[in-house]
Chain A
Amino acid sequence: MLKKGWKILAICVVTLGSRPALAVELGAVRKAIFKVQVISQEPDYKQPWNHQPVKSSSGTGFYIGPTGILTNAHVVANGKFISVLKDGDDEPVSARVKFMAHDCDLALLEVQDPGYFFGVSPIGFGDIPDVRETVNTVGYPTGGEQLSITQGVVSRVSYRRYVHSSADSHLLVQVDSAINPGNSGGPVLQGKTAVGVAFQAFTGAENTGYIIPTPVIKRFLSDIADGRYDGHPVQGFSVQDNALENTATRRYHGLKAGEGGVKVSEVASYSPLAGAVASGDIILAIDGKPVGVDGKVSYLRDRLPFRVLYDLKQRGDALKLDILRDGKRSTVDVVLSAKEPFYDGAHIFWNQPRFLNFAGLVFTSLSRDFLETWGRSWYLDAPLHLRYIHNHFSQIKELQGARDVIVLTERLPHAVNTFAGPFMDAVVTRVNGKKVLSLEDLARAIDAADGSHLVFDFWQEEVPLVLPLAASRSADKDISTRYKIPLTRWLGPDEDGATADWGADK
């Protein structure tokens, strides 16, 4: 994607469109649209006990009923203080994140006083709009204080990457109105109902904006109905796009004339499909819907990748797949739950990255955010082995089942760790011969170690790092004091970065 010059940016705000806005009467809906103001602070992924400077930004949100104000996750990510301002009001009120869904870039906010919404009519949801239909993007883009309305036309419906997490693809709708910083999280309306949430734009072309359509929003609302956000189902399998367009391949697999399907190339051990679907299988249909040779299914009025149907399920839901294997047809039912932990390469947005500091050596968990500390061209400049793990985790046998890909990221110089320099950015696999698949494993191995030495083995490194155990333990406190480290380890929970609350005074 990046190679081909695509630059899709998630933006914290909305813009004025290219076409002159027609007179759109929002009426009572205006009161349901809020400016969301956020003070945020991101962690420092290289020195995970530290945080970066505080930033302020704003976006848009809209009231959808007693559940709260819907906005984008990226608007409130890492939010330390969040406030919402009603159209026409002079004083913002504090808000906090009730549910955060980084994978689909949605968040639900709540305010302390339910009476705040008195007289505000919630905005309801419509269907996914048709191509060429007109929609209005409403919000608070930068450049002014007033509510802005931008009219646009639906260009296409597709399934593609959401920039906020950078690892997840979902259904989205492209519109020809530009979406600018500040628009994000605002409703995209047809009449008085929302048909989507404005969330990202393609900067490589003019007036190309994207909105999160209602099937994704409704899936989110359904997911949180039990009081917890679980996320979109894990996939963990790859298919060979278009392979079954090949005549010989079709004939070999015994596909009938006119029959479609998509060939599975790899199923990761953590995938919900593991054990039910194998490499070389042909997926003929998903939940009874035939899959074409282009890997697409009929969805609403479009043809979209079959993964759309998978992706709109809840975790734990059942999925029915019609399979062709070695000339035999069968139907398999899979439960959409991951089989084991894995590295997904998404942005994590935790308040505190997981880390462990021992003897001045800082171990942290690999993430996209950590890789991005190598700068804008991290995908070229970060260490080769880390980029390889990021891109090909499922193909590295030694790391399967890892909750954390443990990276030795920093050395706080001290006599006990003088010779650890060459191991920076190496990936720990064993401590004293014992396999470690998480930072908890690492902590246990270090805490339980006895004998004279602590021996760390690293992935693709043929030399171990050896520390003197007793001296390292006794140096630990001294190092933390010397380098002013307030927290020597953080092993979770994976707390979300948005810790804003409405304060103790209310």
Chain B
Amino acid sequence: MKKLWLSLVLICFSLPLAAKSLESSILRIHSVVQRSDYDAPWTAKQNQRMVHMGVVLDEKTLLTAAFAVKDARHLEAEKLGDPKRYPLRIEFVDDVANLAVLRFVDDAPTALEVLPLGSDLRLGDNVNLYQALEGETLVSNAIKLREVEVRPVYLVEYPLPQYVFELRRAGYGWFEPIIRDEKLVGVAIGQAASSVFALPSRLLKRFLENWRRPPYRGFVDPGFQVSSMLSPYLREYAKASTVSDGVWIKSVRADSPFVDVVQVGDVLLEFQGVRVSARGSYEHPRWGRISFMSQLAEIAAGDRVRLTLLRDGEQMKVEKVLPAYDPSHERIPPPALSQPIYTIFGGFLFQELSAGLMQSWGSQWKRRAPLPYLFEAEYKRNPSADGKARAVVLQRVLPIEYNKGYHEMEDVFVTQVNGRTIQHIQDLEAALNDEKFKQRGYAHIIVEPGHEEVILSYQGLDRVHKTIRKRYGIPDTARFWEPAH
């Protein structure tokens, strides 16, 4: 009985003791964030104060989430128990990994201790998640690794393996460190219902090693999508009945390094020499059966990627050296690239469609955003070969006498300007500078759906733009179309 009581006492004291020693390694990061205003892209929204967690890398740098520093105007660190705030600047960010390194601008808190990285967890491992978004002490939560899921990180649609823990209380996912045996084994980066998602230590390690030994080698994108191939009839049709593995290649992006060697309808049998099941999974030594896409976490820009394909019953092997994945090549840029790209011509506000613009319809944007936008994002998202193509929209019209007759137009795609197909805002600005049309005096703009044609005069545009600036309080820094000289 005595032993039992002693054990309970030890358990009760062990957590606060561990938490106290971690206060030199886990800091609170305060940020002032100013998000873009997609409705009025020449300005920004009201400042927001946010709190995240950070982990000490050395006496001058901290590790935190990329989303924690996105749009941050001011950053400072707080060490628990130390009343002082320490200004930080952004040293390095990888939006794909969702990780960022911050450096103390001047002073740093004293007696910081580096938290060493631990190894990958196994399913069912018990760990502790530490949080101190409020209060004076680190709060520990005992959690168990439920599963590993390959899912996109918040800022870009890039699949990475993430730990999934069960935590019934809301309010996690702000880069809380996950620790086992006084080593960092993961960081929480999101929560949905009672599932907390965390980046595993292998991703932290990869990021830090790459950052410390430049040049930084980012993640890669093979540029094709697959679909499971469970149907034996689909296998017969694809002449793949001789094998029970492999997935159907359902699309190959125009900018894919494999575009000239992989076709829709090919069966992907192996990825980097690892057999891919009909569900698109493989047996991971620690994490069980997970998506073969988790192997992307092991590949860096410049690496050679090997595929084994089945086409018309014949096996073939292909390999390519893959460049770094660049989220800015996406036709509809993800939230990571949140700067609205726009121009104003005669009160017509044109903007490139982006995840940020669609999210301006609020938390229910997947239901509330205009149907053509949602359709474009779902079915026409693949990038062009050069990665420059965007969907340009006429967001709305700032009404004045000059653009009378078109005041009600909003949320339509701009497909042609002065006879040219429009791929992005620069295209649109260049097309509006077409000398032939300028000399004739009229700009022609075609919008879809509905194929409406807008005819606007080039005469007196300077005066028109001045009027719009004055009437709608648009600052001089706003981007208005200007004639090329």
Question: Which A residues form the contact surface with B (CB < 8 A)?
Answer: 238, 240-249, 251-253, 263, 265-266, 279-280, 293, 380-381, 384-385, 387-388, 391-392, 395, 418-419, 452-453, 455, 460, 462-468
Residue of B nearest to A379 (CB): B371
The 8 Å CB contact of B405, one of A246, A251, A468, is A246
Q: Which of A249, A395, A419 contacts B234 (CB 8 A)?
A: A419
Specify the chain B residue showing the minimal Cβ separation from A244: B405
A-B contact pairs, 14 of them (CB 8 A): A240-B452, A246-B403, A246-B455, A249-B454, A251-B457, A263-B453, A266-B451, A293-B405, A380-B367, A388-B372, A388-B375, A418-B231, A452-B236, A465-B234
* Contact yes or no, B371 A391, CB < 8 A: yes
Chain B interface: which size bin? 35 or more
In the assembled complex, the CB of A494 is this many whole angstroms from the nearest CB of chain B, namely: 28
Query: Distance in Å from the Cβ of B330 to the closest Cβ of chain A?
Result: 19
B456 at the binding interface (Cβ < 8 Å): yes
Q: Within 8 Å CB of A240, what residues of B?
A: 452-453
Please give the distance in Å from A4's CB to the nearest CB on chain B.
Answer: 13
Q: CB-CB contacts of B395-432 with A at 8 A, as 1s and 0s? A: 00000001111111000000000000000000000000
Once the chains bind, are B456 and A265 in contact (CB under 8 Å)? no
A249 with B449, Cβ < 8 A, contacts A385-B375, A419-B230, A452-B236 known = no
Q: Which residues of B contact A381 (CB under 8 A)?
A: 367
Pairwise interchain contact B405-A419, C-beta atoms closer than 8 A: no
Q: Is the interface of B mostly helix, strand, loop or mixed?
A: mixed
* CB within 8 Å for A279 and B451 given contacts A252-B442, A419-B234, A466-B236: yes
Q: In this complex, what residue of B is CB-closest to A253? A: B455
Cβ contact within 8 Å between B442 and A248: yes
A392 touching B449 in the complex, CB below 8 Å, given contacts A242-B408, A249-B455, A462-B250? yes
Per-position 1/0 for B446-468, Cβ under 8 A of A: 00111111111101000000000
A385–B375 Cα distance when bound, in Å, is 7
Cβ-defined contact, B455 with A248, below 8 A: yes
CB of A265 within 8 A of CB of B450, answer: yes
A-B residue pairs, 8 tightest by C-beta: A246-B405, A419-B231, A248-B457, A245-B405, A462-B250, A466-B233, A249-B455, A266-B451
Q: Please, which residues of chain B bring their CB within 8 A of the CB of A391?
A: 371
* Chain A residue with Cβ nearest B448: A395
CB neighbours of B403 from chain A (8 A): 246
Chain A residue with Cβ nearest B380: A460
* B237, B448, B453, B454: the one within 8 Å of A466 (CB): B237
B378 sits at the interface (CB 8 A): yes
When C-beta atoms are compared, the residue in chain B nearest to A459 turns out to be B379
Complex contacts, A384 vs chain B, CB 8 Å = 371, 374-375, 378
Nearest Cβ distance between residue A141 and chain B, in whole angstroms?
37
Which A residues touch B233, using CB under 8 A? Answer: 419, 453, 466-468
Whether the Cβ atoms of B248 and A453 lie closer than 8 Å is no
Complex: A388 Cα to B408 Cα, angstroms:
21
Cα distance A245–B405 in the bound complex, in angstroms: 5
CA separation between A247 and B346, bound complex, in Å?
13
Kindly state the separation between the CA atoms of A240 and B225 in the bound complex, as whole angstroms.
40
Tell me which residues across on chain A come within 8 A of B402, comparing CB atoms: 248
